[in-house]
Chain A
Amino acid sequence: MERLIAAFSDLTGTEGVIPLSLAYAVCIGSLLGFITVYAMFAIWMERKVAAHMQVRYGPMETGGWHGWAQSVADALKLLFKEDLFPRDGNKLLFFIAPAVVFCGVFAGFIAIPFAAGIQIADLDLGIFFIISIAAVEVVGVIMAGWASNSKYSLFGAVREAAQVVSYELPSATALLVPILVVGSFRLGDFNAYQAQHGWLIFSGPFMWIAALVYFIASLAGCKRAPFDLPEAESELVSGFHTEYSGMRFSFFFLEEYASMFVASILMATLFFGGTTLPFNLFDLGNWGDYADAGRLAAQAAAANAPADLVAQAARAAAAVGPFSDLGNILAAHLGIVVLLLKTFFFIFVQMWLRWTLPRLRVDQVMAMGYKYLLPWGLFAVMGTAVWETYAA
């Protein structure tokens, strides 16, 4: 973000508001575009995964090859649908609820490092920020449930509130474990750490428990099966978005898939090496930094990178000059691909679980959160603390 502002400042020759707003526009625009395209792809993927697990084809017609344009067609249809509003509902809340829900997840994307340097804001408390901003979503869901003037929506909203608030405890506890090891809340540091020391999932026996607890808790946070109680279609018709249609409904849909993405990319970044390949093949995690002339020296010393590569990177960085971000992007694209592949693997696992498992009951979800996940999460935290002190 700062570098983007600087780049725009150089480009326009001004300081202050103009480059700042331009940078904001670029960031928000690219994120929105990314989320939309990703969500369309993920919805298509979900349909295909579900279909092939259920010995079906899924969408095959729209767009030709395996119905790739089905999501685009659906999005267009939703855009052009009439904006319906339930009589006797609370109009204001009904209209802003989808926006609030979407904002929570959207803000979470700010702190996500797709690769070193490709990140809107490398926050000091990145993980903390993502966890806390995602909780805003609950407010929107309660708004939607209340404003819909439907009993099913209300049930869904209350379930969602109870579930998401409860499952933030185990998921945050589980995230403490990698934080304990790395010693930082900054997400960028995890990539750097894992580039040097290998994947965190292999660092100690308690990391597996933490990863499992986090994954299960993140399923509940994303309202995915077997924790899809807020929208349990066999009980609550469609839960809190029963009364929504068209554009506003699509926001809830976007939110679900976006939060799946956030949960999966956190899983990949925190436990499964982020942008690095297993055993740090090709040293992918550091590529982005090689091109960054400013941090090059410290990084090269830390990572023991080959001298000729350092020199090459320095030359490249010098050559692109003010557009060093561009150099970063080019250098780091392989890291992004690796990270996205891992993310999509976890998204696939989420889908896989959804099409395998039955749904839990509301009290069982609570019992699972408080009796199983939270104690095991705490166990992992304490175990890792001991392990890090004595064994590592």
Chain B
Amino acid sequence: MGSIRDYFANITGALTTTAKGMGVTLRHFTSEPPITVMYPHERKWVPPTTRGKHILEQDKCIDCHLCAKACPVDCIEIEAEHYGRILEWKQFSIDYKKCIFCEFCIPPCPVDCIHMTTEYEMATDRNDDMVEDLLTWTGLRPEDEAKITGEPTEFQKKQQADDGGKAGGKDKSALIAQIKARLGKG
């Protein structure tokens, strides 16, 4: 039980500190602009070092499995058939349900073929979508097939006739160049 002085000190203390606190909130209400970013409409700048989704330069990859071994959570699955130095790709997938984005798969690569992009949006409502296949093509490319067998295949001939011999699959070389430029800057 406090004294009479405490009683009045309590009242004045409560009123003054409340008023001061209200001053702080009012200042924020009137003069501080919101700092939140309206996410889907605008995005925050992410530094080039950001550890996001992976990207693979498949033509460089030699199927050495060092990245898979370095992975603490075993989320990289690699499968390929070797014909000398030519690879028949079956699988190079990363399970993003497991991946912890630790970046340990990047430095061991002897040919510097796996990179991390700044891509961080991977929300999905399907489990299967979380397993990302990094391959741009599977099996043997026609030109590889040609190297093994020594002559162009039917398919390759047809394709050459169609589009001047461009390889099938998605073209990610532009993106890779962009990432390299940014990494170089950082």
Contacts and interface: CB of A to CB of B under 8 A. Distances in A.
Question: Within the complex, are A and B direct neighbours (CB within 8 Å)?
Answer: yes
Interface of A: 49, 51-57, 60, 352-353, 355-357, 371-372
A49 B35 CA distance: 15
Interface of B: 7, 10-11, 18, 21-22, 24-26, 28-29, 32-36, 38
Given A355-B25, A371-B7, 18 more contacts: A49-B29, A51-B34, A52-B29, A52-B34, A53-B25, A53-B26, A53-B28, A55-B35, A56-B35, A57-B38, A60-B38, A352-B22, A352-B25, A352-B26, A353-B18, A356-B22, A356-B24, A372-B10
Nearest to A375: B7
A353 B29 CA distance: 13
Contacts, number: 40
A357 B17 CA distance: 10
26 contacts: A49-B29, A51-B34, A52-B28, A52-B29, A52-B34, A53-B25, A53-B28, A53-B29, A55-B28, A55-B32, A55-B33, A55-B34, A55-B36, A56-B36, A57-B38, A352-B22, A352-B26, A352-B29, A355-B25, A356-B18, A356-B22, A356-B24, A357-B18, A357-B21, A371-B7, A372-B11
A338 B51 CA distance: 57
* Most chain A Cβ neighbours within 10 Å, of B22, B32, B33: B22
Nearest to B40: A61
Contacts of B10: 372
Most buried by A among B25, B32, B33, B36: B25
A57 B26 CA distance: 15
Nearest to A49: B29
Nearest to B35: A55
Contacts of A56: 34-36
B21 A57 contact: no
A74 B113 CA distance: 50
A339 B21 CA distance: 28
A57 B25 contact: no
Taking each of B24, B29, B33, B34, which has the highest tally of chain A beta carbons within 10 Å of its own beta carbon? B29
